[in-house]
Amino acid sequence: MRLGIQLGYSGEGFAAAVDEVVEFEAAGAGLVVVPEAYSFDAVSQLGYLAARTSRMQLASGVMQLYTRTPTLTAMTAAGIDYVSGGRFSLGLGASGPQVIEGFHGVKYDAPLARTREVVDICRRVWRREVLVHEGEHYRMPLPGGLGKPLKLINRPVRDRIPILLAAMGPRNVALAAEIAEGWQALFLDPEAIDRVFGPALAEGLARRDPALGPLDIMVPLPFAVAEPAPSLLARHRAQLALYIGGMGARGRNFSNDLIRRYGYPTEAATIQELFLSGRREEAAAAVPERLVRATALVGPLDDLRVRLASLAAAGVTTLLVSPLAATRAERIKDVAELKQVLIDEAL
C-alpha cells in the first residue's frame, strides 16, 4: 500500500507545508497530492514541489476538466512530468456546477462523455500523434476554419502519464475503473465499498483494458497516531459537514448523495438544511460519529493496524493522509510510524 500526503488548499502556509513535505518524503511518504477547487491553481504548486522533492510522486487532486482545453490539460501534464523527471500523475475531475458555472462561467454538462474524450485526447497528445479528434464535445481541428492537425512539439518523458479520476457517483466510478490508472475516492468507508461501489467497480473493470494494469484505489484520510478524541476529529467533522451540506445545491450535491447511499438519508438531509441555513456548528454536530471515524485513520498503532487491514481488504492501494498532530515534529513522527506499520504488515 502506497503512502501519500494530501495537501490542503493553498494559502499563506504553503512554503512551510512544502518544507514539511520534504520531511515527509524522508520519513517514507511516496506521493504528494495538490488540490485545486477554487483555490490557487494546482499546477504552479506542483512545479514548486517538483523542484523541492527528489523521489516523491506528484499528483493533482484534482484538476478540473472543464477549466482547461483537453490539449492544454495534456500539455500541462506533460510539462509537470518533464520538470519532475517523470513523477507526475494527472488527477482529473468534473467538480460540480456550483464551481464550474459559478466561478468559471463555463456550462457544466455531460461530465461522463467529456471525461472520456479528455482522457482519450490527453493520451494521444502524449503519444505525439497528429491530433484529429471528432467527438461530440471536442473537435480538433475546428471544421471550416484555418486550423490544421498538429502534434506536440516536445517529446514527453513518458508517452503514458497515469490518469487518476475523482469519482463519487456510480457511473463516474465505473468510468474510472474502465479508463483510468487510478480512482481518487472521497469519504470512503471501507466497510461499505462492496455495497455502495461494488457493482460500479465490477462494471468498469469488466470493460478495462488489461494494458492499464490494476486499478489504483486512492483514499484521502485525516490521520494521527493518537486516541480519536473529539477535539482531534473536529476539523474532519467540519469538513464532512461542509461537503455534505454546502458543496452543492439542494438536489445536486454529490457528497450528500454518497452519504445517503451509505445509509444516512435523514442525517444527510438534516446536515444540508442546517448548513445552508447558516447553522454550521449544528451541521457539524449532526454528522454521525460512525461516519466521522469510518472516514478517518486515527487511533493507537494497534487500532491502526486493524483499520489498515480493513482498507487493504476493501482494495485500497494508496493512502493519502492529512496528518492532524499539533506540531510538525509529531506529524513527521506519525508518518514515519505509519510507514513502518505498512512495512511490518506487508501492506
Say whether pTM exceeds 0.75: yes
Which helix H or strand E contains 183, and what residues bound it? strand 182-184
Confidence of residue 11 (pLDDT cuts 50, 70, 90): low
Looking at residue 144, what is its pLDDT? 93
Whether the pLDDT of residue 10 is over 90: the answer is: no
Q: Report yes or no: 34 and 4 within 8 Å, Cβ to Cβ.
A: no
Mean pLDDT of 285-296: 97
Condensed to tens digits (0 to 9), the pLDDT of residues 148-179 reads: 999 999 999 999 999 999 999 999 999 999 99
Terminal CA-CA length for the chain: 5
Looking at residue 319, what is its pLDDT? 98
Backbone angles phi, psi at 30, to 5 degrees: -110, 5
Mean pLDDT of 281-285: 98
Sign of the alpha-carbon torsion through 202, 206, 207, 209 = positive
DSSP track, 301-341: HHHHHHHHHHHHHTT--EEEEEE--SSHHHHHHHHHHHHHH
Sign of the alpha-carbon torsion through 175, 178, 181, 187 = positive
Whether the pLDDT of residue 192 is over 80: the answer is: yes
Whether the pLDDT of residue 22 is over 70: the answer is: yes
Whether the pLDDT of residue 297 is over 90: the answer is: yes
Q: Report yes or no: 111 and 172 within 8 Å, Cβ to Cβ.
A: yes
Whether the pLDDT of residue 223 is over 80: the answer is: yes
Mean pLDDT of 251-271: 96
Strand partners of residue 321 = 5, 221
Distance in angstroms (rounded) separating the CA atoms of residues 294 and 316: 14
Query: 330, 319, 332, 340: which is closest to 6 by C-alpha?
Result: 319
Alpha helices in 127-264 (DSSP H): 170-179, 193-206, 230-246, 254-262
Confidence of residue 88 (pLDDT cuts 50, 70, 90): very high
Looking at residue 9, what is its pLDDT? 84
Across the chain, mean pLDDT equals 96
How buried is 164 (Cβ within 10 angstroms: 0-12 exposed, 13-18 middle, 19+ buried)? buried
Mean pLDDT of 178-190: 97
Mean pLDDT of 128-140: 98
Mean pLDDT of 253-262: 96
Query: 37, 42, 8, 10: which is closest to 246 by C-alpha?
Result: 37
Looking at residue 57, what is its pLDDT? 98
Looking at residue 224, what is its pLDDT? 98
Higher-confidence position of 11 and 138: 138
Confidence of residue 13 (pLDDT cuts 50, 70, 90): confident
* Domain chopping of the chain, boundaries: 2-225+296-344, 229-295
Buried b (16+ CB within 10 A) or exposed e, 126-159: beeeebebeeeebebeeeeeeeeeeebeeebbee
Mean pLDDT of 252-276: 97
Q: Report yes or no: 66 and 100 within 8 Å, Cβ to Cβ.
A: yes
The number of helices, as runs of H, and strands, as runs of E, in the chain is 14, 12
Condensed to tens digits (0 to 9), the pLDDT of residues 28-76 reads: 999 999 999 899 999 999 999 999 999 999 999 999 999 999 999 999 9
Q: Cell 494521527 belongs to which residue? A: 224
Backbone angles phi, psi at 217, to 5 degrees: -95, 115
Q: Report yes or no: 31 and 37 within 8 Å, Cβ to Cβ.
A: no
Looking at residue 100, what is its pLDDT? 95
Q: What percent of the chain has pLDDT over 90?
A: 95
Distance in angstroms (rounded) separating the CA atoms of residues 84 and 55: 9
Q: Taking the domain 2-225+296-344, which CATH number applies?
A: 3.20.20.30
